[in-house]
Structure formats: structure tokens, C-alpha cells
Structure 1
């Protein structure tokens, strides 16, 4: 029986596995499975499976979101985050069975749990208001929450950074560190600074915790590491020098050092992550990756495996660290020794989006995706590297669906730089026919397309388009010089990289109809879509998503505008407004001749919807063919983690627009 191409509605039938956690015996692992229910909303449940054999078992059920499961030190209990009460709180479930039990009852909810080594306490961060004592901020009933949502009060703003796309308007709440006592079922607030605090974890002896925070004010962009003792009067110590950003903390087995990801902003936001070790006693830093010229961590762009929990650097023992890194369109698992030697553990044309490591058995459980696999877990013993697939999340559903394997293609830029990309053939490919092509441009721009499942790209190939996606300069995966090359040059060599890739694709693949070309992208890719059609008329149609059109206004309305504009364009608003205007597609709107569909979320605070409003208004005023679709209840994450029905509606708008115009 012939297979059918994937379609938009298939999104509602795919399951996403994430966040594996191996128990302390190394026998079992727990993870989260996310799906879309019949009401077109997300559910997340906990599953368990033996590391080396046996079927997986579902542990939690219902129309809920259960995530971040963590085994207690004795493996008798799993604590997890759940919205079962209507807001995220910590819950527990026995590994021997039984119903989940609620642990915390905080007014604004709780965050991801971290067990103390002895199993007596849980450490987590939680939003805490400054208007009254922490002990008074108890969970409200559903009716009380709904009443508060309906009640509109004036919102007073006094700080520079008062909103974020992920959290909305900050108000008078900050992420504080909370200690929960398992025996007494009581919570204690550990931090009080009016800034956000991020948990870094417990020292091996359970006497200290590490966390990150920015105490320098909103004009300072960075995170420092702090050490705080538990149960003593010793003062909190800052062990980094406010010279960069440090995150994803991991204590060494002996508790003497901390490993972390981070950098010192040498190239502002385009600086590649490094791995550092820091002496807890004196703050002495050591760079473990001075000769590594690729991104540490997961830089992969995907609309399916997006926003996964990265464990950061994980100590294999006192002499080496395991971590993920991204290069050449691949995200793999690597080992760094404390003397600076770097070796890949697993690096194939795939995307390692999550992993858990068990020290005693030397086994990894890794979440791995490929262009034709949304993602599954694999066991990887480090002694032989032999990989064994453990889950088959979507195999049954996808058995009658044709997914397209990408063709890796490399192009020569105008200045001789090599640009990597991928071409999906249309699902109904016939060498005797000609096919239209869609050029996709990723966001960031400091991110990376590659060997991961991407539903949108597969849908476009499924309806009959060739799909070209590339990593122009500015992308991660090709070295520091490459990722830095776009800064101050938006719309310059990045634009010519894309056009060179398109030209050479048309030269090499005769089945593509050069008279039927489309272009689309989101965020920076939306900016580039706007820029492309205001600088060339070769495309028959365009779709711009959550885009930037005017850097002058972006500076003041985006949650990151006041520093990102300087980082990427090169100037602050009042220092050189002419430069910001020169890099704004809006300046060239009168030159647009390509019909364009503008898609934007109403709640987007990263690229606020006023960017789309300006772009649409000016285009329509000058008589251009433009349609504007606004998505309610959607922020910058619409295409990846937005409401499922809106994700599907967005894809339908894209498909219909290209069908109408190409």
C-alpha cells in the first residue's frame, strides 16, 4: 500500500517524549510524554521504562500537564510539577503505585524540583510577590483565580525589564528560591533580593546550594553564580565576577568545583557558549573548551522538539564532563576532560535533544530526533557506544505516512564562504515534472537548522513543494567567526548567502520551477522575509511570521529590544537612529511587489505585534498585496508551543497562501 504525505492535522496525533531521568540504581527511567487531546489542548503524562528491556508504562493520566519528574534518593518517590490543582505545584507519587499527592500550595505556583542528597528537602524556584509575606501567599481556589483574571487594575512600572515573552508582565513578583521540607510539609523562602533566582543544584553533601541571578540591575545583561549554605549563618557568596553569563550548573562529585555553561559576551549575543569549571572556595575559573569552535549546548531549530530541558554539563566522574554540542546541522553528545580534551560520544546526522546519565552503570538515555523521526529514547553504554532504541513513540501512526529525507547541499557564498543547507523533494516527486520551491529562513539568527524533525517543512513538502532551508552566516554550528558575521550587517551578506543558495539550487536541480518561488520565516526569519521581498521581486509569494519591520520602534517595545538592537544592529536608538532605519524593511516598503501574508501572535512580546501592524499599514497604503492574520492568546512561541488549534490554523494559512499565489 502506498504511503500518504503528512498533513497539518497529523500534528494532533504525534507524541513528544522528553526529559528522561534515570533512577539511582540505574535500572529504570521516567520521562514526560506530551500529546494533544480531543479538546485540542496539550496533556503531559509521566511514563517509566526499564533502561535495557521491557515495555514502557504510563504512570499518570487525565487532562493535566505532569512534567519534570525527579526520583528521590531512595527511588521510592517521584516528585513532579503538575497543574492538577489549576496552577503548577509540586506533587509526588510512589514508585510502588498509588495516586499522586499534592505537596505545595503556593499562590503563584512552583517550579522544577531538586531533591537534596539526603532526600529530606526539595529545592525549587517560585514566583513570590513583594506585596506581603511569603507565608501569606497561599494557593487560591479556581473561583478566586478567575475573579483576579477578570479584575483589571492599574499596572505600575518602575524598572527597565518589566516584561518577557515567556512570563508576560512581571508585576511585583520575582523568582525566589524555596526549600520544602518533606517531613513537615512546610516551605521556607531562601532568597529575598528583588530579582529572579535560578536553581543550580545541591552540593553532594547537601550543605550548600548554587544558584544564578543578576544583582547588577536591568542595564547589566548577565548571570552570576552564588553559593548559599543551608542551615548555617554563613553569608551567600558570589563566585563569578559579573563578567558574563553563567548557567546550567553542575557540582563536581567532591563538591569542590562547579561546572557550567557560559561566556563573557566577547561577541555580545553571538558569543558561543563555553564550558567552565569554577573553584567553589575561591572562584578561580578554568575554561575547558578554549579550542572548541562550535556551540556548546543545543542550538537546533525545530517546531517539535523545541524548548527541551538541557541537563547542561554532567560530571561523568571527577575527571570528565558529558554535554551536548551543535555543529554542521547536528547536535550530539560529547565528553570533555578537565585537561581540555574533547571527544564525541555520539554524533550522527541527528538531533540529541535530551539525555540522562547514570555514573555507576556508565549508560546514557538519550532523546534523539531525525528529519523522519519526531523523537525517541535510546540507551547508549559508554563502554562500547552501541546504541539501542528503547521507545517507538510515533512508529505505528507514521507507518503509512511518507516523510521526506533531506538532501544535504552546500553552496558557495559571494565571498567564497561555504553555506550548508538541505533540500526536501516534494512528496509526489516525478523527475518528468517541474515543482515550485519554498525558501525557509530560520530565526535567531544565532540558531541552526539541521537533522531534526520539522513538521512545517514536511507539511510543505507533503503538499507538493520543494523546500530549501539553509544556515546562512549568523547561524550556529560553523564557528565563532561565522556566527558573529551577521552582527551589524542584517540584510547584507546574510541576504546574499540566501540568494546564492537559491541560485545554486536552481542550477543543480532542474525539476524546480524558477518562476514559482516562495519565501517564509519567523522572527529573524520574518525580518529576512520582509527584507528579501523589499530587495528583490523574484518571489511569487511570501509569508512573514512574528517578524521585525522597524528597528526604531523594536528598540522600545520588545522585551529584549533595549540591548538586542545594539548587539545585532550595532547601535542604540538615540546614538544612530539612521543606522537602525537603514536596516529596517519598512524603509523599503514602496519597493515591495511580492504578495505577502503577515502572521503574528497578539501576545508576542519578543517581536510585538506592532511590528506587523506597521508593516501591513504601510504596504496597504502604498497599494501592495498584503493580508494580515492576528492570532489571539499566542506569543512568540506560536509555531512551536502555541495553542494546538492556532498552530494548525497558522499552517493552514501558509499552505493556502502559497497555493493561491504560486
Structure 2
């Protein structure tokens, strides 16, 4: 049977694997499989697989979601977070590895998450939310059923009062709690008006490491803290001037490693690995000489919100495992305290997760590529060779035709080398002419790369050449490169994208330059708007969750009050003229390209008013844009929105370009 072109319906056939975790003996891997049900819901289940076996075993069933599986250090238990049946919030579950049913061990009104076992397996550190001074009941059943209340006004007294992920914020904050396995009790160990993000336990089980911003919304910092779990007293380890996270104790208990930076280039600053000597409080950056972003910067459209393992120590406390991204790939590295860096993986791929077991010299890595939605592999830390462990997407790959990208390296207008790729249309034939679609990523400090991207494959399946690049401002090419677009939105980044389009057309003369489309989301939406306000070379455009007006963005976005100055170089109070000059809306009278505008109603990152302004202005000057609004959808619509709305979005895109480019 011949393979078929991929469709939007195939989103429902994808299995997304996340959060691989090795057991203490190194013989078993736990992981989460997410998929879309026939009822249009996301469901995820817990799987366990022996490293030597060919097939995994499913351990949870039914409706609901599972996340964050974690083995107890003694190998007796597995904890995970799950929301099942009639539960309104996710709770912490405990499952004996000797057999039996999973048991919900928390019953908190605002749920539980982010579990971390103590070294002696007697306690589980986790998070829940409550308002300072209002410790919650540990049993939802103890809460009296609330009567239906009339809506009340929202009182706003803080700068950060909404979030794209959480909507409008109340007075609750993420707090730290401990579940005691032996006596089945829950203890709350923080009670502050700040959010707390847990990282690790000290080897003696006396302290926990967490990170938090305790300086208020207008101070954009994150610091590492040590908290004594008995006295409830904490100690700040970092200097209150940078962005630090994921503090993890070394096995010898002498050092904490963390990720972070000192905001030298604001939000474009590379994340680095730092160590903190607990005896002297001396902080050192061990990757100072490594011009890489120590993070997974690679973007796709099928996985969202995956856990960051942070720095992972070797047992001898001399080096650290971490992910880093460069030139379109994300790899696993071992970084020694002296700054020496060793790649543990090497390929045209995206390593999206890992778990290490040093005694057996084994790692489990999650790997995706443009033609692989993502599977788990057992990696030998000695030979660097890997063996595929799961085959969850094997059937889909047997059924659909996926295109391998071809890399295109080109020079920007000022000679800067830039990386891009092109997908040929499915069924490509020499001598025929094809339309092309330019995709522009968001961020802008993100990275297109060698990972699975359903939308790109869908365009290729519909007969388009699909080309995409990492213009200046993208991660993966050094600190000066990622910083190069700040204060210059619509400047040399725009020139890079046009230079890339020229390079693609030169390289692929079979692309019809009179049938080109352009699309992108977030920053990619901004750039789509900017492009059609400055050139008519594209026959059709689609702008997604876009920015059109930096002046209003400053006040309506959940990040506008700091992101505007970080990226454009000023804010409304200092230089509104500069904001307007960088706003695509200023150039609306020059926009002649047919435009599809798509936006989520509950997008608080790039609020829907950005689309509304553009739509009204285009209409007022006689254009006929198509405006599609998606209910109950935030900035993550394309990655984690309601499945039927994700499909509707893709249909709008493909129908729009078919109307304008295929005729």
C-alpha cells in the first residue's frame, strides 16, 4: 500500500511521548503517552517499559491525564500527577511497584503538582496553591459545597494580574508542601505571597532547593533559595539581579548547580550553568566560555509544556548533564566543572528529554526529527550509541508520506551566515512548477530545527514548497546573533527573511515566484504583518496570534510592560514614536496582499485586540481580510488548543492558500 499525504486529521493519530524517567536500578523506564481521543479530548497515560523489552506496558487507563512520573529512590513506589473522572484539579497519586491500584494521596481544592522524592523515599515535595495565611484543608470533602454565586468585580492591585496560561490571576500563589508516605499526612512548608518552584532535596533530606521572584512584579528576577524543611527558614543563594532556576544539589551536598543568566541581553540572554559553593556562597559560571544557550530552544507544534530536567549531576559531583541547542539541533551534553564540554548525542535531531542512570552507563533520551514525531531511545553513555526503545508512532509513519528537509545556508544582506530549510511538495516532479509558503517562527528568540512540525508537513502534503529559517534573533548561533534583532524589529531581521526567500528561489527555480505565501505566529505574525506593509512580492499572507501595534501591546499583553522595552528598545512612557515606527499598523495603507487573520479569544500574550485593530484598519481602506476568531483559545492554540479548533485552524490556513496560490 502506498503512503498517503499527511492530513489535519492525522493529529489524532499522533502519540506524543514525554518525561522519560529511569528506575533506581536502571532497568525500567516510565514515561507518559499523550493522544487525542474520539471525544476530542487530550488523554495521557503512564507506561513502564523494561530496557531489555520490545514493548511497553500501560499502567493507567480510562479518561483523564497523567504527568510527572517519579520513582522513589528505594524503587518501591511511583508517584505521578493525575486528573481523573470527576476531579476538578490534578492530584498526587502513589502506585506500589509491587502491584495494586494507584491511590490518590492528596485531596486539595487547588490540586497538586511537580512531585520530587526525598532521598530516603519517606516524603514527596510538591506544589499546591493557596492565598497567604489561608492554609487549605487536606480533604476536598471537608469543604462545604459552595452555592452558586453571582459574578463579582476583579480587584486589580498588582502589575502582573493576568497570564496567558492561567488567565486572570487571583491572590493564590504556588506554595511548597510535603506528603509524608508513612503517616499519609500533608505538611505545608511555605506560606508567602510569592510563587515557589521546587527543584531538589539535599542529600541528607534536611533542605529543599526552590526558585522564586520575591521582589515584586516590576522586578524581573528569579533567585535560588534553600529552605530548611523543619524550621521553615530559607536562605537566598543568588544575588537578586538575574534569572536563575532549577537549583539541584550535588550528590556530595557541597554545591548547588542551576541554570540562569544576569540579564545582560534581557530576554535574549543565553542561559548558562552556574554552581554555588554552599560553604562560601561563591557563585561561578562554568559555561562562560561556551557560546551556547543551555536549554531546549527547538520548537515544534505537537508538544507543549514539557518538563525541564535542569542540570543533572554525575554521582561523583564532578560534572553535569544538560540540554543545549545549536544550528537546528538540540543535544545532550556533559559539562565538567572545569568548563570542558562533551557531546553525548550527535545527529540531525531534537533531544527533548532525558534521564540518566550512571551505574549502568545508560540514558533514556526522547528524540524527534522532521520525519519522527518522537520516540524514546536507550543511549550508552560509554559508546554514545543508541537503541530505539519505543515505536508508538510506527503505524502512522507507515501510513503517511513525510518530507525530509534540505538545509540551505545563505548570507544575509550584511554577510551574516544564516541557516534555513526547505521541504519539497509531496509528489514533486522535475520540470513542474510549484507555489511556495514561507513560515516564520515566533519568539523571536526560538529556533526552527530538526524536529517534527505537523503544520510544515501539512503544507508540503498540499503541494507547496515550504521554506523556513532562523533569522537573526533566533537561538542556536551564539549570543550576538540572538541579540541582534532587539531594538531593530523589522530591520535586519526583515532583510534576513527576504534574503532567505531570494536564496530559496535561486536554489529552487521550480518554485513559482509569483505564487508565494507567507505566514507566522506571534513574532512570526508581527513579521508577516511587517512584510506585507513593506513589499508586495507575496501573493497571500496569513497572520497568526500577531502583534500589530506596540503602543497598545505595552498595556494589554501579560508581558507587554517589560517585553516591549526588552525587544523594541523603549516603552510607551519613554518614546511612543519609536513604538509606532516599529508597529505594522503604521504601514497599513501600503498593505495590498490578501490577508487571513487568525487569533484566539483568550490570548493574553498577544491579545485579540492586536488582530482587531489590523482588521478594522484594512477594512477601512477597502481591503477584504478574512478574520477568524477561536473561542476559549490562548496563545498556545496551535500546540495545545482544543483538537477540533486546531484542525479548524489548519483548514483555514490550507483553504486560504489554496484559494490564492493554487490558481
Fold shared by both chains (TM-score > 0.5): yes
Q: Deviations over 1:466-490 (max 9, x none)?
A: 0000000000000000000000000
2:481 corresponds in structure 1 to 482
Quote how far apart the aligned CAs of 1:446 are. Answer: 0.2
2:75 corresponds in structure 1 to 75
1:587 corresponds in structure 2 to 586
1:110 corresponds in structure 2 to 112
1:611 corresponds in structure 2 to 610
Q: Check conservation: 2:16, 2:374, Cα contact below 8 A.
A: yes
The answer to whether residue 314 in structure 2 is matched with residue 312 in structure 1 is no
Q: Deviations over 1:164-187 (max 9, x none)?
A: 111111111100111111122222
Quote how far apart the aligned CAs of 1:151 are. Answer: 4.5
When the two chains are superposed, the root-mean-square deviation of aligned CA atoms in Å is 1.5
CA distance in structure 1 between the partners assigned to 2:455 and 2:143 by the alignment = 36
CA distance in structure 2 between the partners assigned to 1:39 and 1:151 by the alignment = 31
User: Which residues in structure 2 correspond to 1:192-211 (within 5 Å)?
Assistant: 192-211=191-210
Q: Which runs of 5+ in 1 are unaligned?
A: none
User: Which residues in structure 2 correspond to 1:342-361 (within 5 Å)?
Assistant: 342-361=341-360
1:97 corresponds in structure 2 to 99
Quote how far apart the aligned CAs of 1:140 are. Answer: 6.4
The answer to whether residue 362 in structure 2 is matched with residue 363 in structure 1 is yes
CA distance in structure 2 between the partners assigned to 1:80 and 1:363 by the alignment = 23
Q: Check conservation: 2:130, 2:136, Cα contact below 8 A.
A: no
2:500 corresponds in structure 1 to 501
The answer to whether residue 551 in structure 2 is matched with residue 548 in structure 1 is no
Q: Select 1:274's aligned residue among 255, 262, 272.
A: 272
2:258 corresponds in structure 1 to 260
CA distance in structure 2 between the partners assigned to 1:221 and 1:182 by the alignment = 37
CA distance in structure 2 between the partners assigned to 1:330 and 1:618 by the alignment = 41
The answer to whether residue 428 in structure 2 is matched with residue 426 in structure 1 is no
Quote how far apart the aligned CAs of 1:661 are. Answer: 1.0
Quote how far apart the aligned CAs of 1:232 are. Answer: 3.6
Q: Check conservation: 1:597, 1:626, Cα contact below 8 A.
A: yes
Q: Check conservation: 2:601, 2:632, Cα contact below 8 A.
A: yes
1:166 corresponds in structure 2 to 165
Quote how far apart the aligned CAs of 1:141 are. Answer: 9.9
Aligned partner of residue 585 in structure 2, secondary structure: helix
Aligned partner of residue 112 in structure 1, secondary structure: strand
Q: 1:165/1:13 Cα in 2 relative to 1: closer, same or farther (>3 Å)?
A: same
CA distance in structure 2 between the partners assigned to 1:78 and 1:576 by the alignment = 55
The answer to whether residue 411 in structure 2 is matched with residue 409 in structure 1 is no
User: Which residues in structure 2 correspond to 1:19-168 (within 5 Å)?
Assistant: 19-84=19-84, 85-130=87-132, 133-136=134-137, 138-139=139-140, 151-168=150-167
Quote how far apart the aligned CAs of 1:400 are. Answer: 2.2
Aligned partner of residue 296 in structure 1, secondary structure: coil
CA distance in structure 1 between the partners assigned to 2:292 and 2:337 by the alignment = 18
Q: Check conservation: 2:312, 2:320, Cα contact below 8 A.
A: yes
1:386 corresponds in structure 2 to 385
Q: Check conservation: 2:108, 2:137, Cα contact below 8 A.
A: no
Aligned partner of residue 113 in structure 2, secondary structure: coil
Q: Deviations over 1:269-302 (max 9, x none)?
A: 0001100011123321111101111211100010
Q: Deviations over 1:33-78 (max 9, x none)?
A: 0010110110010000012334210000111101111111222211
- Mean Cα displacement is larger for which, 224-233 or 480-489? 224-233
TM-score in terms of structure 1 length: 0.97
Q: Check conservation: 2:122, 2:182, Cα contact below 8 A.
A: yes
Q: 1:509/1:141 Cα in 2 relative to 1: closer, same or farther (>3 Å)?
A: farther
Q: Check conservation: 1:423, 1:467, Cα contact below 8 A.
A: yes
Quote how far apart the aligned CAs of 1:201 are. Answer: 1.1
Q: Check conservation: 2:54, 2:390, Cα contact below 8 A.
A: no
Aligned partner of residue 314 in structure 2, secondary structure: strand
CA distance in structure 2 between the partners assigned to 1:357 and 1:142 by the alignment = 42
Aligned partner of residue 295 in structure 1, secondary structure: coil
Q: Check conservation: 1:12, 1:35, Cα contact below 8 A.
A: yes
TM-score in terms of structure 2 length: 0.97
CA distance in structure 2 between the partners assigned to 1:151 and 1:12 by the alignment = 39
Q: Deviations over 1:301-325 (max 9, x none)?
A: 1001333212111012311111110
Aligned partner of residue 419 in structure 2, secondary structure: strand
